[in-house]
Structure 1
Amino acid sequence: MLKYKDIISEMTLEEKASMMSGGNFWNTTAIDRLGIPSIMLTDGPHGLRKQGGKADHIGLNKSIPATCFPPAATLANSWDLELLDDVGRYIGKEAASEQVSVLLGPGLNIKRNPLCGRNFEYFSEDPYLSGKLAAYMIKGIQSTGISACPKHYAVNSQEHMRMTIDEVVDERALRELYLEGFRYAVEEGKPKTLMTSYNKVNSQYANENTHLMQEILYDEWNYEGVVVTDWGGNNDRVKGLLAGNQLEMPSTGGITDKEIVDAVRSGELSESVLDESVDRLLNLIFETRKTLNETTEEVDMEKHHSKAIDAARRSMVLLKNEGGILPLQSEQSVAIIGDFAKNPRYQGAGSSLINPTKVDNAWDQLSQSGLTVIGYEQGFKRFGGRINTLKNNALKLAKQADVILVFLGLDEGSEAEGSDRENMRLRENQLELVSELTKVHEYIVVVLSGGSAIEMPFAKNVKAILHGYLGGQGGGSALRDIILGNYNPSGKLAETYPLKYEDVSSAPYYPGLEATSEHRESIYIGYRYFDTKKIPVLFPFGHGLSYTEFHYDALKITDQFVSFTIKNIGSKAGEEIAQLYIKALASTVFRPNKELKGFIKVYLEANESKEVTIDLGEHAFSYYNTLINGWSVESGSYELQVGSSIDDIRLSDTMEIKGDDAEHSYDQALHEKYYAADVHNINDQEFHQLLGYTPPNPSWDRKKKLGYNDTIAQGRYKKGLGKVLYLIVILANKFLFLIGKPLQANNVMFIKNMPFRQIPRFSQGKISKRMMDRVLKLINLW
């Protein structure tokens, strides 16, 4: 039943088609004669990025000032559902005050591999944690009356060739890892809008994937909102509509409107499908416009800055604190070393680049705090390269202090939308500096900046490591409060920190070759791999220290919940994040050793104790059974473990579960390596058997002629114009790096990976399809 049947009956076919694509870069199409207004969709996800002037999607042009909250990778370390609700509400208020109807966020793709260039925008390697945090952030955003837009649905696990790559993943891993977080976000957060990803999933573009869209999102999860493409993420407009996509963004200058009209007139597309899509979009437009028309409250930017500081404080992670060197004492003389102390790295780059209202830095905050700061030295060149004077000056200052604070991190060119990281290492000049410092001083505290896991060869040689992640605009004040002990750190890692990149389960397969990215590791990503295979890690999932200590006791288990008592046995008030893991003791299906199935964050005064309860969710004991295309529970014994991290289990007990014991397709002889979690050397036969089909060739056919679904990157294998276009992009990338514009350099890679089909659409017809035909013809001459 159409909610807006009367309006739709008055619309022409051409008007309906026009509504299925943007009116411009950020707005939907208005139809004035029917009173249908335009609404604005714009970037988040950790703040409002509304461009006041010329629009672009990749962060080249500045946006209006807005509060830059910590990105998702940082907020995830808080494990704090109420905080995510608060941050969402604050961002939603700013969006509503700027007449924005849809905020494009949160991002909740699973961190399959530490090198993904966009990991800073995502919550975790765990779908339960990701989904719960996303659901609360969505609730917060939508409490203001506008729409959140969780993204990117689905399996967007890399930036390399993201607009064309085929993510090849078995159905069980797809459901248990890559979709489960979205399920929580949709069913509990109830977003009004959802964004599809650029990539293919098992040979079908996500936006056209009827399994992802019709069978799962609509039929299984009962999603009632609007689905929007990522910007330029449409391949075949008619197939997208049939799969359940309502809105294509941005405007294509009418190119795809005509495709819809022609498809209806030819009978390829039923007009009733188009009507249903228009109806969903009208509901979003009228609901959010009503809110914006009634929005009168002015935003208190100072209050929002204070919330940004609070969010950063709650999310920073104390990884190491040997001898209780932190918090620092006022009488200690302190040397501050490292470029990141004065020039903080507080957010990522690309479409999420916020123009902050102000930015706190650690140097200003610490030097004005009453701490005995004896000086500052830059120590190293931010983007690499050796300058001995900087290092020598830092070593000289260090010898004069009681304690050294060394600020290290990933620079702006290291992680950004559009390109993946090359390795897990900090710049060599930073590593050289800290190595030299450990030779002349014993008391070194490393303060880290960055949005994803790094190797830390210095970890054993320094006294403390405080990870600020990307702290948003209030990160400098938050670091000050933790370093001085004004705030007791409570963050815990939402991702595992390996000792070295080669230990990562997906390392042999990431980021794929050219045409496909094969997920041969299946369900074994992050802690699911390290914990099962018993591979030592630098810092485990869920790890984080406090300035106090907590004792766990009195575990009780029922069919519906787990309860226990936590006591603060230290001298300072603090918060503890207790985590529930469940382990199947005798499974006939290959499974991780244990999986996160619940958590709770509790505040306790010194010597205070509380009984806390964690509910057992519907999938607490389940695995996804591909034979029945549904969730199954095996009967048997399960161990429920409660702890401070995955490697610090404090309480455990077993319970017997009566399951459905449905037949499954897994055989230990056929899937021997998966049962052993030995996934670094999965051969074609075993992977294809797990998939249930033979995937496409992972490499491009370098002899074939290039077409609309191919990219400028593939021009490298052609002579003449194809090679020239490719080299122009590569040279532009290198030139921008050389002149000190790493953000713009990374954004150029967006162009390299863009399919030819998108050039006429992105240019809104200024570069016509006929012109592209001629370009492709010239490319294919050689």
Structure 2
Amino acid sequence: MKRTQIDIEAVLAQLSLDEKVALLAGIDGWHTKAIPRLGVPSIRLSDGPNGVRGTRFFNGVPAACLPCETALGATFDQDLVRELGQLLGQECKAKGAHVLLGPTINIQRGPLGGRGFESFSEDPVLSGTLAASYCEGVQAEDIIPTPKHLVCNDQEHERVAVNSIVTDRALREIYLLPFQIALGRARPGALMTSYNKVNGTHASEDPRLLRDIVRREWGFDGLIMSDWFGTYSVSEALNAGLDLEMPGMSHFRGPCLIHAITSNKVKEHVVDERVRSVLRLVQLAARAQIPEMAPEVQRNLPATSALLRRAASESVVLLKNEDHILPLSPAKTTLVIGPNANIAAYCGGGSAALPAYYTTTPLEGIRNKAAALSSSLSPPRDLVTFTQGAYGHKELPLLGEQLRAPEDGRVGYTFRVYTESKEQNPARVAVDTLHMTSSSAFLMDYVHPEVKGDLYYITMDGNFTPAETGDYEFGLTVAGTGLLYVDGELVVDNKTNQRQGTSFFGIGTPEERGVIHLTAGQTYAVHVDYGTAPTSTLKVKNVVSFGPGGVRVGGARRIEPAQAVEEAVRLASDTASFDQVVVCVGLNSDWESEGFDRPHMDLPAGSDALVHRVLAARADAVVVVQSGTPVTMPWAPQTKALLQAWYGGNEAGNGIADVLFGDVNPAAKLPLSFPVTLAQNPSYLNYRSEGGRVLYGEDVYVGYRYYDSIGVQPLFRFGHGLSYTSFAASGLAVTVVDTPAIKAASLTLVLTVANTGDRAGAEVLQVYVAPPPTTTAVRRPVRELKAFHKVPLLQPGESRAVALPPISLALATSYWDENRDAWLSEAGAYTVHVVGTGAGNTVSQTFAVHASRWWTGLLGDVSGSTTNGHA
């Protein structure tokens, strides 16, 4: 697309009504409508938030995968997130995308949300501030970011139908505030609405939300789009302010909207307002100079890998380190145990998932550390040993990369598409033949000129050669129907009697499994017959339909759980053979995904027993947990060394190893509270849809606000994270820079930070503000995060004077006054607490607000940061 500035008003004057309506919806999954005669190009949108998938769920072009957003939240590092945003902008150019659908800035009000891993934090200031940095980085490449999902999209259960009932105060202080901060500082060019209702009205057609708050109060003049299939009306959505319905082809625009206009349910000047927003987006997109319908390519560069590795390592949180067990030594013998050790849990599932350029497992990362030393030994020997201990998968591991194509022996399998079933025509001929490696095929955007509609048939053929003799399980998950054969023997029938599951965004079955005994070294032909979604016998309700469906094939050797644990315990007890023990457990994209919420907080069956038994045998074993949101850790009191490692993107395994062996001194902090049990979290009695609604009964007391207010200690508090060194903060000075306009007033904080330990390390300062001790207005949380700052590397013994960027006085002191429908900065004596790393490392100071003042609108950026965002 050439860098041209279209004359929006001139174009608008020449558009026919049909053309105007066509501009208000996508033409497919990822593109807007072009009007060539008026020089209006089509622009491309692509999923984030942790990578750029491009235009294909099906057999997509590999991409850079960032750590999930909770991992980025754990860094508390605006500069790093801005760098990663710029990387995403560069990836967008490689994928020909003008608009990135991210960041996600919904609040994790509870630990079970299926998409919790996609968001930064339970805290709105941490979320909004990092979202602004993310947007600034994306915009540095002239790509348009899209904060999402406005608003209260905090669960997957009945997500398109549920009514989120929330007080105005909680809506403003917790759920809208991240959007308010991001829009005020970064001025992104687009915004995406959520699927759910908010207080009785779907967000995508809520005039109070879109027109009154976003447009009028916040002054947002960018484009507002729906989530995919998140438009539910013709006139209501358009009149409320929803500019773009996605994806195409449109359900509600086209002839339906033409009829609404001619019947005067929608005024043509309102249509013009929506069209202007689309044309402004097209004009903004021209800055990137990305050609229309550009080919998608890879840009797997060494610099990309280095940045992703830094992000992965700097997101790892050191939760415990008694007796200074960590860091480990690569020169010592290491036993690695557990279900997450030898898999790459690099991202969560759903629309955030994407094929990565490459992945690294924790086991690979650990072996990489020891490789040079292992080869230098005489005789050379492996310093790292692995034993499984337990499986952690919900669905069997994908089989695709364990197969070989029958035709040429390449890694993967042969994928053939037919327009008829073999029962209809035994002599049928494939209309398409592909070589594929991933054995999860989501067909939402598969296209072929000879395939008409959603009904067609697929075969998958590959050869499997087991390394060990034993019983092997094969699994088949479908949105449609499927049969799996091994050497002609039917092993899995997911056609005859189907069950409703949560796969493929809720339209598919659970995984059906079968077992067959296989001999090591013998090659077996694996064949799958699959029919697309219209062949399914399931009757699905209250879920979004994503087209023709999908098929997933998995497989693994069966292990006997008790024997696997005993083997792990036996090896861990062998102190003569193993100097160090690392246990890797956690979740993966099977357990945390768009389309469903977790039923509980527990690790997969067998993981807790494995950790308990290994710790009983080896008290100094290091436990590494990977998950996007909190898990229960009943063995935590037994542990002496514990890491929370998230889904770390392409470099997850290397990032974990960098922290384990001390190449990176951890500085990350938990961006959300880890409760002891599910019942301890504040949303426990008010989570999931009941009778079509969910009550946000915890009000503003989300996460740490709740635990602080009732005086209960969670398992690990928000903001907790240790270091391999120690720090001390001192000399806090707080100055109020007041102005008649409260939104221009600020706080300045200066203090000294010293590294009092023996290793170089970075420090994270968390700035909390406590309200006046007595107030006649409303009950308020004990303290709230109002700013944070990462102090770059300090050498042992080094002290540094740190001046934090100015903090908005309005943000630091205000709550939402429901009587005035405005923010209130209330007069009184406030206390600033600057919290550093380590117990007792807190410095405090008071300041006064002398007069109560109300305000509305955006705050802007008092720190003076500059962006090239949407004006």
TM-score (norm 2): 0.73
- More deviation, 534-543/327-336: 327-336
Q: 1:213 to 1:442 in 2, by over 3 A?
A: same
Letter matched to residue 599 of structure 1: F
Q: CA deviation at 1:512?
A: 3.3
1:289-368 to 2 correspondences below 5 Å: 289-293=286-290, 299=299, 301-368=301-368
Residues 197 and 206, structure 1, Cα contact 8 Å, conserved in 2:
yes
Residues 63 and 298, structure 2, Cα contact 8 Å, conserved in 1:
no
User: Partners in 2 of 1:645 and 1:572 — Cα distance?
Assistant: 14
Residues 108 and 123, structure 1, Cα contact 8 Å, conserved in 2:
yes
Residues 375 and 397, structure 1, Cα contact 8 Å, conserved in 2:
no
Q: 1:550 to 1:380 in 2, by over 3 A?
A: same
Q: 1:647 to 1:171 in 2, by over 3 A?
A: farther
Residues 3 and 279, structure 1, Cα contact 8 Å, conserved in 2:
no
User: Partners in 1 of 2:254 and 2:713 — Cα distance?
Assistant: 55
Letter matched to residue 397 of structure 1: L
Residues 128 and 596, structure 1, Cα contact 8 Å, conserved in 2:
yes
Letter matched to residue 44 of structure 1: G
- Are residues 1:29 and 2:47 paired? no
- Are residues 1:598 and 2:787 paired? yes
Letter matched to residue 12 of structure 1: S
Q: CA deviation at 1:254?
A: 6.5
1:556-571 to 2 correspondences below 5 Å: 556-559=733-736, 560-571=747-758
User: Partners in 2 of 1:3 and 1:162 — Cα distance?
Assistant: 40
Secondary structure, counterpart of 2:606 in structure 1: helix
User: Partners in 2 of 1:290 and 1:368 — Cα distance?
Assistant: 42
Q: CA deviation at 1:284?
A: 1.1
1:419-430 to 2 correspondences below 5 Å: 419-430=596-607
Q: State the partner residue of 2:868.
A: none
- Which 4+ runs in 1 deviate beyond 4 A? 294-298, 645-649
Letter matched to residue 40 of structure 1: R
- More deviation, 203-212/505-514: 505-514
User: Partners in 1 of 2:347 and 2:25 — Cα distance?
Assistant: 31
Letter matched to residue 774 of structure 2: A
User: Partners in 1 of 2:186 and 2:287 — Cα distance?
Assistant: 21
Letter matched to residue 754 of structure 2: K
Q: What are structure 1's unaligned runs of at least 5 residues?
A: 53-58, 664-782
Q: CA deviation at 1:634?
A: 2.0
Question: Structure 1, residues 450-482: CA drift from partner, whole Å, max 9, x if none?
Answer: 100111111111220111111111011111111
Q: State the partner residue of 2:842.
A: 650
Secondary structure, counterpart of 2:211 in structure 1: helix
Secondary structure, counterpart of 1:215 in structure 2: helix
Q: 1:298 to 1:417 in 2, by over 3 A?
A: closer
User: Partners in 1 of 2:266 and 2:629 — Cα distance?
Assistant: 44
User: Partners in 1 of 2:304 and 2:62 — Cα distance?
Assistant: 12
Q: State the partner residue of 2:565.
A: 391
- Are residues 1:220 and 2:208 paired? no
Letter matched to residue 72 of structure 2: L
Secondary structure, counterpart of 1:558 in structure 2: strand
Q: 1:662 to 1:287 in 2, by over 3 A?
A: closer
Letter matched to residue 590 of structure 1: R
Q: 1:443 to 1:215 in 2, by over 3 A?
A: same
Q: 1:298 to 1:255 in 2, by over 3 A?
A: closer
Letter matched to residue 458 of structure 1: W
Q: CA deviation at 1:344?
A: 2.2
- Are residues 1:580 and 2:754 paired? no
Q: State the partner residue of 2:725.
A: 548
Q: CA deviation at 1:245?
A: 1.1
Q: 1:662 to 1:29 in 2, by over 3 A?
A: closer
Q: State the partner residue of 1:6.
A: 10
Q: 1:302 to 1:330 in 2, by over 3 A?
A: closer
Q: State the partner residue of 1:151.
A: 148
The counterpart of 1:141, out of the listed 123, 138, 148, is: 138
Q: State the partner residue of 1:235.
A: 232
- Are residues 1:447 and 2:621 paired? no
Residues 109 and 154, structure 2, Cα contact 8 Å, conserved in 1:
yes
TM-score (norm 1): 0.81
User: Partners in 2 of 1:114 and 1:636 — Cα distance?
Assistant: 35
User: Partners in 2 of 1:300 and 1:504 — Cα distance?
Assistant: 41
User: Partners in 1 of 2:565 and 2:298 — Cα distance?
Assistant: 48
Letter matched to residue 216 of structure 1: I
Q: CA deviation at 1:287?
A: 2.5
Residues 169 and 518, structure 1, Cα contact 8 Å, conserved in 2:
yes
Q: State the partner residue of 1:472.
A: 649
1:489-508 to 2 correspondences below 5 Å: 489-508=666-685
Secondary structure, counterpart of 1:620 in structure 2: helix
Secondary structure, counterpart of 2:705 in structure 1: helix
Q: State the partner residue of 2:475.
A: none
Give the number of the structure whose residues are more often strand, by fraction: 2
User: Partners in 2 of 1:255 and 1:561 — Cα distance?
Assistant: 51
Q: CA RMSD in A?
A: 2.0
Q: CA deviation at 1:546?
A: 0.6
Q: State the partner residue of 1:485.
A: 662
1:409-420 to 2 correspondences below 5 Å: 409-420=586-597
Give the number of the structure whose residues are more often helix, by fraction: 1
Q: CA deviation at 1:644?
A: 2.2
Q: 1:6 to 1:623 in 2, by over 3 A?
A: same
User: Partners in 1 of 2:710 and 2:257 — Cα distance?
Assistant: 51
How many residue pairs were aligned? 655
Residues 579 and 645, structure 1, Cα contact 8 Å, conserved in 2:
no
Q: CA deviation at 1:649?
A: 5.4
Residues 119 and 451, structure 1, Cα contact 8 Å, conserved in 2:
yes
Secondary structure, counterpart of 2:684 in structure 1: coil
Residues 365 and 655, structure 2, Cα contact 8 Å, conserved in 1:
no
Q: State the partner residue of 1:775.
A: none
Q: CA deviation at 1:660?
A: 1.6
Q: State the partner residue of 1:381.
A: 391
Q: State the partner residue of 2:799.
A: 609
Q: State the partner residue of 1:16.
A: 20
Question: Structure 1, residues 4-54: CA drift from partner, whole Å, max 9, x if none?
Answer: 1111111110110011111111111112222211111110111111134xx
Q: CA deviation at 1:646?
A: 11
Q: State the partner residue of 2:177.
A: 180
User: Partners in 1 of 2:840 and 2:127 — Cα distance?
Assistant: 21
Q: CA deviation at 1:404?
A: 1.1
Question: Structure 1, residues 132-191: CA drift from partner, whole Å, max 9, x if none?
Answer: 000010111111111111100001111000001100000000000000000011111111
Secondary structure, counterpart of 2:280 in structure 1: helix
Secondary structure, counterpart of 1:156 in structure 2: coil
Q: 1:249 to 1:163 in 2, by over 3 A?
A: same
Q: State the partner residue of 1:45.
A: 49
Q: CA deviation at 1:98?
A: 2.0
Name which one, 1 or 2, has greater alpha-carbon Rg.
2
Secondary structure, counterpart of 1:497 in structure 2: coil
User: Partners in 2 of 1:647 and 1:570 — Cα distance?
Assistant: 14
- Are residues 1:73 and 2:70 paired? yes
Q: CA deviation at 1:633?
A: 2.0
Question: Structure 1, residues 169-228: CA drift from partner, whole Å, max 9, x if none?
Answer: 000000000000000111111111110001000001101111111111111111121000
User: Partners in 2 of 1:386 and 1:534 — Cα distance?
Assistant: 44
Residues 97 and 290, structure 2, Cα contact 8 Å, conserved in 1:
no
- More deviation, 433-442/77-86: 433-442
Letter matched to residue 117 of structure 2: F
Q: CA deviation at 1:552?
A: 0.5
User: Partners in 2 of 1:21 and 1:383 — Cα distance?
Assistant: 39
Q: CA deviation at 1:647?
A: 7.7
Q: State the partner residue of 1:283.
A: 280
Residues 729 and 836, structure 2, Cα contact 8 Å, conserved in 1:
no
- Are residues 1:621 and 2:813 paired? yes
Question: Structure 1, residues 745-770: CA drift from partner, whole Å, max 9, x if none?
Answer: xxxxxxxxxxxxxxxxxxxxxxxxxx
Q: State the partner residue of 1:93.
A: 90
Letter matched to residue 22 of structure 2: S
Q: 1:517 to 1:258 in 2, by over 3 A?
A: same
User: Partners in 1 of 2:570 and 2:618 — Cα distance?
Assistant: 11
